[in-house]
Chains A and B, each alone.
Chain A
Amino acid sequence: MSHSYDRGFIEDFGRWREFSAGMWAWIFHKFTGWVLIGYLFTHIAVLSTATASDPAVYTNTLQGLEALVIVRFLEVGLLAVAVFHILNGVRLLFVDLGVGLEAQDRSFYASLVLTGAITVASVPTFIGGVLA
């Protein structure tokens, strides 16, 4: 059941036209994973400074960040990254269980489409109040 493949170097980006759906899924999952672990360290660092002193500092820090348009757009990006990682993660769990192997390229495309739809639908919630 299990096969190994010579993937070559993904750093050789000139090969991108040769990539299959499974290769793209692997690259996207890896990229979103790096973003999420980087964000986790950043998140704890920001909350550390916000909770270091007076409770008002916490409220002012969070509301000050939320007042920045760029932060709202970065949050939309973070949502997109998290949603893709979750959906493709579910897909990987099914692949590991041997379920739906013949449809794993289509389930990758479904993950992408669903991520896009959820991200677009969330934009009004994230941007609300900051652009007005």
Chain B
Amino acid sequence: MAEHYSSFQRGGTRWLLQRVTAVFLIGVLAFHFFLLHFVNHASEITFLGTQARMSQFGYFATMWLFLVTATFHGVNGVYNALINQGLEGSRKNAVKWLLVLASLLLVAQGTRVALAMTNLV
């Protein structure tokens, strides 16, 4: 068998959630890029066009779940990469809560932005 490298300890909760969110993100990231660069060209995007898309509940829900899962996947990846590099003890705890705080702020602000793009509220 060829060598297999990973920053994650296989079998743990963080490892499993990283894989579950990855499956969702593979489809949604590709969809997001394709829709906003190849179907609707980014240079032609207007607020009215964005509002029309984001005001559809299904699209809004998909984009919001994209925000939440991408934030978790990204921050969990950073956390595990740092642990893999030797982060431990009180520094590990401090980094963990800093990343949790950054994630909550990003999701909260991302939700505000998403709502500002709709006519749902």
Binding site for B on A (CB under 8 A): 2-3, 5, 7, 20-23, 25-26, 30, 33-34, 36-37, 40-41, 44, 47-48, 51, 55-56, 58-59, 62-63, 66-67, 75, 79, 82, 86, 89-90, 92-93, 95-96, 101-102, 104-105, 122, 125-126, 128-130
- B26 near A86 (CB under 8 angstroms)? yes
Q: Using a CB–CB distance below 8 Å, which chain B residues touch chain A?
A: 1-7, 10, 19, 22-23, 25-26, 29-30, 33, 37-38, 41-43, 45-48, 50-51, 67, 70-71, 74-75, 77-78, 81, 102, 106, 109-110, 112-113, 116-117
Q: With a CB–CB cut-off of 8 A, which chain A residues contact B117?
A: 51
The 10 closest A-B pairs by CB, nearest first: A37-B74, A26-B5, A66-B43, A55-B47, A51-B116, A58-B47, A22-B3, A59-B46, A47-B113, A44-B110
**Residues of chain A with a CB closer than 8 A to B23's CB:** 93
Docked pose: A44 CA to B112 CA in angstroms: 10
Which residue of chain B has the shortest Cβ distance to A103 in the bound complex?
B2
Q: Shortest beta-carbon distance, A131 to chain B, in Å?
A: 12
CB distance from B87 to the nearest CB of A (A): 14
A22-B42 in contact (CB<8A): no
- Are A86 and B30 touching (Cβ within 8 A)? yes
A36 and B70 alpha carbons, distance in the complex (Å) = 9
B81 touches A62 (CB 8 A): no
